[in-house]
Structures are given as C-alpha cells and as structure tokens.
Amino acid sequence: MKDTDSRDYWERDSVKFTSHYSPQASRFSPKQLVGSFLNARTRHLLTMADAGPGDAVLDVGCGHGVHVKLFSPRCRSIVGIDYSSQMIASAEEHCRDLPARNWDFRVGDAHELPFPDASFDCVLSVGLLDYVASPPRVLEECRRVLKDTGRIVFTAPKRPTVTFLLHTSFGDVLRDRLFDLPPIRSSFTSSQLGSLLREARLRPECVRSMWTAIWIVKASKAER
C-alpha cells in the first residue's frame, strides 16, 4: 500500500469514517459491524486510560474528536492532533457544544509531535498505528511527550486474526467497497508487539485482544 493511499483517504474522505459512529439504518450492514467494533473499542479505552480530573491528555490521531468529547468531562485538559485538516474541522464542530472549554485541536504529524517533553499525564493513540509510516517513531514521540508518571493507551492491528482476509490486497478492495475504510499498513503478532514496545522504550501494563482483530495496550515509560 502506498502512503498516499491512506493520506488521501483521511484528507479527502474522512467524513466516510465519521459516519461509522452514527447508528445505521440496517442493523446487520457492514457499516453497522464497524460501528459496533468502534464502540467496543471506546469502552475498553475509557476503562484502561483511567483519566482523572487533574490529568492533561493528548489524543494522537484524534479523528473527528469522539474521544476528546468523551474525555473532556473527565480530565483537566485534552488536546487532539491529526494530520487531516478535514478531520480537525469536523472535530471542532463536534466538540463546540461541550460545557467545558478545556479542549483544543491542532493539525500535525504524529511522527513529530509539536509539544515539549513530558507535557501530558495520558497519551491516547487509537486506530492510528494501522496507517502510519513508522509505528515505532510514533510511539517514541508519544513517550517523549509523556510525563514520567504518565501512561499511554494505544491500539494496533493484530496477527493472526479471523479478519485476516481484510489484510490482503483483495481485502483492501473489500475494506473500500464494503466498509469505506482505507488499507491497513501494519499488523503485529504478540512477539512483534513486544519488540515494538521495547523499541519505543515502553513497559506494558495491560495488553488485551479485542475481537481477535486488534491489540489494546496500556503502557508506561520504561527506564532508559
């Protein structure tokens, strides 16, 4: 898959993805299945991140702000960053009626986060490593902006998986035509996930498998 395939999707067609969070007319449609998956993923995220009222939170790859909207009432402040200007515009509209103005959005690259070291108590990166050019670099940046006592919660596509067909060239066509989703760049076995964490100097605290399709990981800074 070309890097431009994913970037073009998120820049030009990201509204397609936001529709997955809305109820679908057909209960058993492909999009309804994606929506159920995203909602289950969000429930895991809320539990694992455990953001409190004193926490500064960063959502890397924030999309249209669904997690920013959920975490805003739970934390001191939250910033969402995404390289799609279309997504950021959608996120600002999605969150503008929140009672607390403790949120902000920025257009930026997850490989080079525009924040000082040790800025956040909690960093979220959900549904992002699927599509980036360098997952290790993104996690290294997440670690850099994380406070020493902070935690990161991220997801990554899993291998092996019952949805293996969607990780093939034919699966790319299915993802586009049935689910309105871009191709996946990366997926990880348990061993590869461990290597990814070590390379980013992160210590796993909780690792869950969801629907056999993704890893959901809570981690903290490992010693140098």
pLDDT confidence band for 123 (50 / 70 / 90): very high
Which domain covers residue 166, as residue numbers?
3-219
Say if 202 falls within a structural domain.
yes
pLDDT, residue 65, reads 94
Buried b (16+ CB within 10 A) or exposed e, 81-102: bbbbebbbebbbebbeeeeeeb
> How many CB atoms within 10 Å of residue 52?
12
Say if 224 falls within a structural domain.
no
Q: What is the CATH number of the domain that holds 128?
A: 3.40.50.150
In angstroms, the CA 120 to CA 56 distance is 5
pLDDT confidence band for 10 (50 / 70 / 90): low
pTM summary value: 0.87
In angstroms, the CA 155 to CA 42 distance is 11
Say if 172 falls within a structural domain.
yes
Give how many domains the chain has, as a whole number: 1
Query: Taking residues 114-124, what's their average pLDDT?
Result: 98
pLDDT, residue 1, reads 39
